[in-house]
Amino acid sequence: MRTFLIRLLIFSALFAGLVVIAAYKLAQPGEMDYVGGIVVKHKRLNEIKGPRLIFAGGSNMAFGLDSKAVEDSLKIPVVNLALHGGLGLDFMLEELKDVVRNGDVVILSPEYFLEAGRYELDAAVAAFMPASKKYFKHDFYTVFKYGVESRFTQIGYNRDYLMARWRKRNAPPERDYAAEVYSHKAFNSYGDVVAHLDLPSYGAPKVPLKLYAGYWDGIPKINAASRILAQRGVKFYFVFPAFCASSFNNNAATIANLEATLHRDLQIPVISGPQDFVYPDTLYYDSYYHLTKTGRNLRTQQLIKLVQPLTAQLHGEKMLLSNR
């Protein structure tokens, strides 16, 4: 029995050692580096002293906004805080509650039926900006589970990386567009993704996305956040995401039901319709939500028209205060 236990311990130690060695980080998905873009976004937030126009949400807004064009048109400092839908709605709302101040105008544009975030992405953000740990839950069970699962996931990443290197060992080097776009260096100083603008686009995926058709639990979460933002003197609005035409048409009934539910239950103004940001699949860079340069320009001009009355009201309030 004693010999068996010793052998079991030796085997377990060897197995654990092999897992640790095999899980050494040779490669990782680009999105793990991409989320480091949060740093430049918060840098701009902190540099602006007065009221700000903040666009929040997922990558549909990160890829789909020309912040400088909005700022030049509306004459208010703009920050594109939107980053990645995989961070989850809770992360986005906690981040907003942390950074907004009196006079800010916030435009929220999450992807359809956005749910809880992926812990590995939230943790990746925290590696770039430790202060973001307060934006997501990290209880013992979640951290332990992630610690174990991430080792085996990393082994898979390493395997795929080594196999790809082996297959291309005799091929001439190729430009890695994905590595350029899904990188913390992909953003300009406003927080917009710009690395893809002059690259060849792939269009939206050929198979349309199928959306969940139930009641979106994000509605009460947004309502709860809206009450906090209102107490701080922040104007808070909702707009629908950019979405490719094929997937929009494939989910028309579901989206119509969501729109009706939002107008009924959401406690902040919904200032767009879902069809306002639906564009042909050819105007998407590589996903259902990521716009090309042309699509981005179209959406930016539409957003300017929607937001202009809101900022005009803000300018009017400032003039009224200055004349008192």
Looking at residues 182-195, what average pLDDT do you find?
97
- Cα-Cα-Cα-Cα torsion 137, 265, 83, 213, nearest 10 degrees, comes to 90
- Cα-Cα-Cα-Cα torsion 256, 260, 262, 263, nearest 10 degrees, comes to 140
Looking at residues 15-44, what average pLDDT do you find?
69
Say what the pLDDT of residue 6 is: 61
Q: Is the pLDDT of residue 315 over 90?
A: no
Looking at residues 279-305, what average pLDDT do you find?
98
Any domain includes 254: yes
Token couple for 71: 């700022």
Any domain includes 126: yes
Looking at residues 17-38, what average pLDDT do you find?
63
Specify which residues 237 forms β-bridges with.
107
Range(s) of the domain holding residue 153: 30-194+207-241+250-275
pTM across the whole model: 0.84
For residue 262, give every residue at least 6 positions away whose Cβ sits within 8 Å of its Cβ, in sequence order, or none: 219, 238, 270
Report the candidate in 237, 266, 240, 238 with the shortest Cα–Cα distance to residue 251: 240
Domain tally, the chain: 1
Considering the chain, what is the average pLDDT of its residues?
86
Alpha-carbon 90 to chain mean position: 12
Any domain includes 11: no
Any domain includes 281: no
First to last CA, the chain: 89
Q: Is the pLDDT of residue 83 over 90?
A: yes
Any domain includes 307: no
Any domain includes 283: no
Any domain includes 309: no
Contact 197, 296 (CB under 8 A): yes
Any domain includes 9: no
For residue 65, give every residue at least 6 positions away whose Cβ sits within 8 Å of its Cβ, in sequence order, or none: 55, 80, 82, 192, 296, 299, 300, 303
d(Cα 237, Cα 230) in Å, to the nearest integer?
Answer: 11
Say what the pLDDT of residue 155 is: 67
Looking at residues 220-248, what average pLDDT do you find?
98
Given pLDDT bands bounded at 50, 70 and 90, which one contains residue 31? confident
Say what the pLDDT of residue 110 is: 98
